[in-house]
Chain A
């Protein structure tokens, strides 16, 4: 499982670069690298559905983000003068990490999930739905209602984008 560690560490490095680099375009591209790394991780973790989806979504969101930032006048990011806020945020993040680490220790060991529902789905999917891809059987049959919600979320955000991008909101 060493390759998972390597890719994940590279993703963290990419994320820090995306966060700290001054040029916005480079920063967006670094985010894209993190996303591609995530797609690779999905592939290694035996989730090909997610790997494909993550890859194409990453490309799309990269296009949208570049579209939004390119041509914009690049501001020099000013350094913050308030160290107190930095310390507060860093402290918050440290506390978050500490408690998360404690909680995560009580999860089942990596590689041995409980799979109470998962094994049920695996056993019954083909017989009950006729779909060979068990993930597809779950998202569109067993939990199809979730997918209706998911499609609605996308619809909502499209309508939201159209509403936000109107030239004028109020009638004169």
Chain B
């Protein structure tokens, strides 16, 4: 059953190689959001796409053992709470959404205060959220039992 799920062996083989590369690219886009084009949102979508890639190549069952809908929605909420918390952190300096962290030197990776942290939060939220949209749509078509959709 496991052998026949998903696409052919060629696709699976190549997916194993490319998925990690796509993942790395997503992280790069995320971390350099304040220096180069990209940012948390684009990075998050790329990560979600890398997981979707896995699901498409290996079939739902294999992919679900690593990442299921419940985990995805928890990560999404956590990402949201993180972003919300960063916004609240601004109250330390007196204003909602104030950039309280040190700005650092321009062109450094760790610069620009909350922007990097916000990018990470958006990344978690967008990646997990879009993946769970895809999973929910994909699971709906499965006629057999779907424990994951019951919450």
A and B associate: yes
Binding site for A on B (CB under 8 A): 29, 33-39, 41-42, 45-46, 48-49, 52, 56, 73, 76, 79-80, 83-84, 87, 96-97, 99, 103-107, 111-115, 118-119, 121-122, 125-126, 129-130, 132-134, 136-138, 140-141, 146, 149-151
**Interchain nearest-CB distance for B142 vs A (Å):** 11
Task: Using A56-B46, A126-B106, A151-B83 as known contacts, say yes or no to A161 and B133 having CB atoms under 8 A apart.
Answer: yes
Kindly specify which of A5-13, A58-66, A90-98, A115-123 makes contact with the partner chain.
Answer: A58-66
Q: Is the CB of A130 within 8 A of B83?
A: no
Interface pairs (14), CB distance under 8 Å: A53-B45, A60-B45, A60-B130, A63-B56, A129-B115, A130-B112, A130-B113, A133-B34, A136-B39, A151-B125, A155-B76, A155-B80, A165-B140, A167-B149
User: How many CB-defined contacts (below 8 Å) exist between A and B?
Assistant: 143
Are B129 and A158 in contact, CB atoms less than 8 angstroms apart?
yes
Stretch from A17-25, A29-37, A78-86, A138-146 contacting the other chain:
A138-146
Q: Would A155 and B125 count as touching, CB distance under 8 A?
A: yes
Closest-CB distance, A150 to chain B (whole angstroms): 8
Partner among B73, B103, B136, B138 whose Cβ is within 8 Å of the Cβ of A130: B103
CB nearest to A141 among chain B residues: B99
Contact B35 A140, beta carbon cutoff 8 Å:
no
Contact of B34 with A158 in the complex, beta carbons under 8 Å: no
Complex Cα spacing A148 to B97, Å: 10
- Given the interface contacts A63-B52, A136-B34, A151-B80, does A56 sit within 8 Å of B42 by beta carbon? yes
Q: Which of A35-75 contact B (CB under 8 A)?
A: 48-49, 51-53, 56-57, 59-60, 63-64, 67-68, 71
Tell me if A147 and B42 are in contact (CB < 8 A).
Answer: no
Contact of A132 among B35, B80, B125 (CB under 8 A): B35
Contact residues of A: prevailing secondary structure: helix
A26 sits at the interface (CB 8 A): no
A154 located at the interface, meaning its Cβ lies under 8 Å from any Cβ of chain B in the complex: yes
Flag whether A28 is at the interface (Cβ < 8 A): no
B112 touches A137 (CB 8 A): yes
Least Cβ–Cβ distance between B21 and chain A, in angstroms = 15
Interface centre among A51, A140, A157 (most CB of B within 10 A): A140
| A144 engages B80 (CB within 8 Å) | no
Chain B residues with CB under 8 A of A126: 106
CB of A4 closer than 8 Å to a CB of B: no
In the complex, chain B residues whose CB is within 8 Å of the CB of A67: 134, 137-138
Partner of B103, one of A56, A129, A145, A158: A129
- A131 & B45 in contact (Cβ 8 Å cutoff): no
- Complex interface: chain A residues within 8 A of B41 (CB): 53
Assuming the contacts A130-B104, A131-B34, asked whether A158 and B133 have C-beta atoms less than 8 A apart, the reply is yes
Q: Are B29 and A52 in contact (CB under 8 A)?
A: yes
